[in-house]
Amino acid sequence: MKHYTLKEAAQALHINHETLRAKMLIAAIDPVADPIDKRRLLITQAQLFQLRGMVKATQIQQQASGNNDLNDLLERIRQLEERVNSLEASAVAHTPVAPYEANLGGYTRHTYQRDETRHETLPDGLTALIDIAKEYGIPETTIKSAVRDKRVPCTLGVWKIGRQFVRYAVTDEQKKAILAYFRPEIEA
Protein backbone atom coordinates (compact mmCIF):
# COMPACT_ATOMS: atom_id res chain seq x y z
CA MET A 1 0.00 0.00 0.00
CA LYS A 2 1.31 3.43 -0.97
CA HIS A 3 2.10 6.04 1.70
CA TYR A 4 1.96 9.84 1.35
CA THR A 5 3.63 12.56 3.35
CA LEU A 6 1.34 15.22 4.79
CA LYS A 7 2.65 17.75 2.28
CA GLU A 8 1.88 15.39 -0.64
CA ALA A 9 -1.58 14.66 0.78
CA ALA A 10 -2.38 18.37 1.13
CA GLN A 11 -1.27 19.02 -2.44
CA ALA A 12 -3.30 16.08 -3.76
CA LEU A 13 -6.44 17.32 -1.97
CA HIS A 14 -5.81 20.99 -2.92
CA ILE A 15 -6.02 22.16 0.69
CA ASN A 16 -3.51 23.78 3.03
CA HIS A 17 -1.61 22.00 5.79
CA GLU A 18 -3.81 23.35 8.63
CA THR A 19 -7.00 22.21 6.92
CA LEU A 20 -5.47 18.77 6.38
CA ARG A 21 -4.60 18.53 10.07
CA ALA A 22 -8.14 19.59 11.02
CA LYS A 23 -9.71 16.99 8.73
CA MET A 24 -7.38 14.31 10.11
CA LEU A 25 -8.39 15.25 13.64
CA ILE A 26 -12.10 15.00 12.77
CA ALA A 27 -11.60 11.64 11.01
CA ALA A 28 -9.39 10.36 13.86
CA ILE A 29 -6.55 9.63 11.44
CA ASP A 30 -3.17 9.32 13.14
CA PRO A 31 -0.20 9.62 10.80
CA VAL A 32 2.67 7.20 11.30
CA ALA A 33 6.35 8.12 11.36
CA ASP A 34 8.41 7.32 8.27
CA PRO A 35 10.69 4.32 9.06
CA ILE A 36 13.64 6.03 7.33
CA ASP A 37 13.14 9.57 8.64
CA LYS A 38 11.23 9.73 11.92
CA ARG A 39 10.52 13.47 11.47
CA ARG A 40 8.29 12.85 8.43
CA LEU A 41 4.71 11.72 9.02
CA LEU A 42 2.89 9.47 6.55
CA ILE A 43 -0.70 8.47 5.85
CA THR A 44 -1.90 5.50 3.80
CA GLN A 45 -3.73 5.63 0.50
CA ALA A 46 -6.97 4.48 2.18
CA GLN A 47 -6.70 7.34 4.67
CA LEU A 48 -6.11 9.75 1.79
CA PHE A 49 -9.32 8.52 0.08
CA GLN A 50 -11.23 8.96 3.35
CA LEU A 51 -9.94 12.55 3.61
CA ARG A 52 -10.83 13.20 -0.04
CA GLY A 53 -14.45 12.23 0.69
CA MET A 54 -14.54 14.64 3.65
CA VAL A 55 -13.08 17.48 1.58
CA LYS A 56 -15.57 16.92 -1.24
CA ALA A 57 -18.49 16.85 1.23
CA THR A 58 -17.32 20.14 2.72
CA GLN A 59 -17.01 21.72 -0.73
CA ILE A 60 -20.54 20.60 -1.65
CA GLN A 61 -21.91 22.10 1.58
CA GLN A 62 -20.10 25.36 0.95
CA GLN A 63 -21.46 25.57 -2.59
CA ALA A 64 -25.00 24.88 -1.41
CA SER A 65 -24.85 27.48 1.34
CA GLY A 66 -22.78 29.87 -0.76
CA ASN A 67 -25.83 31.12 -2.64
CA ASN A 68 -27.56 32.06 0.60
CA ASP A 69 -24.46 33.88 1.83
CA LEU A 70 -24.24 35.78 -1.43
CA ASN A 71 -27.90 36.74 -1.30
CA ASP A 72 -27.53 37.84 2.32
CA LEU A 73 -24.51 39.91 1.39
CA LEU A 74 -26.32 41.53 -1.54
CA GLU A 75 -29.29 42.35 0.71
CA ARG A 76 -26.98 43.90 3.31
CA ILE A 77 -25.28 46.00 0.60
CA ARG A 78 -28.70 47.20 -0.60
CA GLN A 79 -29.68 48.18 2.96
CA LEU A 80 -26.41 50.05 3.49
CA GLU A 81 -26.84 51.90 0.19
CA GLU A 82 -30.33 53.00 1.27
CA ARG A 83 -28.95 54.20 4.61
CA VAL A 84 -26.13 56.14 2.94
CA ASN A 85 -28.59 57.77 0.53
CA SER A 86 -30.91 58.78 3.37
CA LEU A 87 -28.00 60.21 5.37
CA GLU A 88 -26.72 62.13 2.37
CA ALA A 89 -30.19 63.53 1.77
CA SER A 90 -30.43 64.76 5.36
CA ALA A 91 -27.01 66.44 5.40
CA VAL A 92 -27.78 69.86 3.93
CA ALA A 93 -26.41 73.35 4.61
CA HIS A 94 -26.19 75.11 7.96
CA THR A 95 -29.87 75.98 8.37
CA PRO A 96 -31.52 74.66 11.51
CA VAL A 97 -34.41 72.25 11.21
CA ALA A 98 -37.68 73.16 12.85
CA PRO A 99 -37.86 72.00 16.48
CA TYR A 100 -39.55 68.71 17.19
CA GLU A 101 -41.88 68.45 20.18
CA ALA A 102 -41.82 64.96 21.66
CA ASN A 103 -44.66 63.72 23.92
CA LEU A 104 -45.73 67.32 24.73
CA GLY A 105 -43.92 67.05 28.06
CA GLY A 106 -41.86 70.19 27.68
CA TYR A 107 -39.18 68.08 26.05
CA THR A 108 -37.95 70.02 23.02
CA ARG A 109 -35.57 68.44 20.57
CA HIS A 110 -33.71 70.76 18.24
CA THR A 111 -31.82 69.18 15.40
CA TYR A 112 -29.27 71.17 13.45
CA GLN A 113 -27.48 70.08 10.30
CA ARG A 114 -23.75 69.58 10.42
CA ASP A 115 -21.60 72.60 9.93
CA GLU A 116 -17.85 72.30 9.53
CA THR A 117 -17.20 75.65 11.26
CA ARG A 118 -16.68 75.80 14.99
CA HIS A 119 -19.16 77.74 17.10
CA GLU A 120 -17.60 79.58 19.96
CA THR A 121 -20.91 80.20 21.73
CA LEU A 122 -24.32 78.64 22.01
CA PRO A 123 -27.23 80.31 20.21
CA ASP A 124 -28.68 83.35 21.98
CA GLY A 125 -30.78 82.52 25.02
CA LEU A 126 -29.26 79.07 25.62
CA THR A 127 -26.93 78.01 28.43
CA ALA A 128 -25.02 74.73 28.52
CA LEU A 129 -26.46 72.29 31.04
CA ILE A 130 -22.99 71.47 32.36
CA ASP A 131 -22.50 75.15 33.30
CA ILE A 132 -25.72 75.11 35.33
CA ALA A 133 -24.68 71.86 37.00
CA LYS A 134 -21.32 73.32 38.00
CA GLU A 135 -22.76 76.67 39.10
CA TYR A 136 -25.39 75.19 41.41
CA GLY A 137 -23.54 72.03 42.50
CA ILE A 138 -25.97 69.58 40.93
CA PRO A 139 -24.39 66.46 39.38
CA GLU A 140 -24.72 66.64 35.60
CA THR A 141 -25.74 62.98 35.39
CA THR A 142 -28.59 63.64 37.81
CA ILE A 143 -29.94 66.43 35.64
CA LYS A 144 -29.54 64.35 32.47
CA SER A 145 -31.43 61.49 34.12
CA ALA A 146 -34.27 63.88 34.98
CA VAL A 147 -34.26 65.17 31.38
CA ARG A 148 -34.48 61.61 30.02
CA ASP A 149 -37.36 60.84 32.40
CA LYS A 150 -39.05 64.10 31.32
CA ARG A 151 -39.13 65.44 34.88
CA VAL A 152 -37.39 68.64 33.81
CA PRO A 153 -37.35 70.42 30.43
CA CYS A 154 -34.24 70.75 28.33
CA THR A 155 -33.26 71.66 24.78
CA LEU A 156 -31.38 68.88 23.01
CA GLY A 157 -29.07 69.55 20.11
CA VAL A 158 -25.47 69.35 19.02
CA TRP A 159 -23.29 72.43 19.23
CA LYS A 160 -19.53 72.39 18.89
CA ILE A 161 -17.91 74.91 21.18
CA GLY A 162 -14.17 74.91 20.73
CA ARG A 163 -13.16 71.25 20.84
CA GLN A 164 -16.16 70.00 22.84
CA PHE A 165 -19.68 69.06 21.87
CA VAL A 166 -22.59 70.40 23.89
CA ARG A 167 -25.71 68.25 23.62
CA TYR A 168 -27.84 69.64 26.44
CA ALA A 169 -28.71 73.34 26.75
CA VAL A 170 -31.44 75.24 28.57
CA THR A 171 -33.33 78.48 28.13
CA ASP A 172 -33.99 80.82 31.04
CA GLU A 173 -37.45 79.30 31.63
CA GLN A 174 -36.02 75.78 31.55
CA LYS A 175 -33.28 76.85 33.97
CA LYS A 176 -35.93 78.12 36.40
CA ALA A 177 -37.79 74.79 36.13
CA ILE A 178 -34.59 72.81 36.78
CA LEU A 179 -33.70 74.93 39.80
CA ALA A 180 -37.26 74.68 41.14
CA TYR A 181 -37.01 70.90 40.85
CA PHE A 182 -33.49 70.38 42.29
CA ARG A 183 -32.92 73.49 44.41
CA PRO A 184 -36.32 74.90 45.47
CA GLU A 185 -34.61 77.12 48.06
CA ILE A 186 -32.84 79.10 45.29
CA GLU A 187 -34.75 81.85 43.52
CA ALA A 188 -33.54 81.90 39.91
Higher pLDDT, 148 or 187: 148
Q: Give 101's pLDDT tier (boundaries 50, 70, 90).
A: very low
**Distance of alpha carbon 147 from alpha carbon 75, whole angstroms:** 39
Q: Give 99's pLDDT tier (boundaries 50, 70, 90).
A: very low
Residue 96: pLDDT above 70?
no
Q: What is the DSSP letter of 34?
A: -
Mean pLDDT of the chain: 79
pLDDT tens by residue, 27-71? 888 999 988 988 899 999 999 999 999 888 888 777 766 566 777
> How many angstroms separate the most distant Cα atoms in the chain?
99
**Distance of alpha carbon 133 from alpha carbon 129, whole angstroms:** 6
Q: Give the residue-averaged pLDDT of 78-102.
A: 62
Residue 121: pLDDT above 80?
no
Q: Give the residue-averaged pLDDT of 91-102.
A: 45
**What pLDDT, on a 0 to 100 scale, did the predictor assign at position 106?**
52
Query: What is the H or E stretch that residue 94 is in?
Result: none
Q: Give the residue-averaged pLDDT of 97-125.
A: 54
User: Which residues lie below 8 Å from residue 137, measured CB to CB, with a gap of 6+?
Assistant: none
Q: Give the residue-averaged pLDDT of 6-26.
A: 90
User: Which residues lie below 8 Å from residue 18, measured CB to CB, with a gap of 6+?
Assistant: none
**What pLDDT, on a 0 to 100 scale, did the predictor assign at position 86?**
73
Cα distances (Å, whole numbers) of residue 31 to 9, 15, 49, 55, 60: 11, 17, 14, 18, 26
pLDDT tens by residue, 76-86? 888 888 888 77
Closest CA to 6 of 61, 44, 63: 44
Whether the CB-CB separation of 157 and 169 falls below 8 Å is answered with: yes
The answer to whether the pTM exceeds 0.75 is no
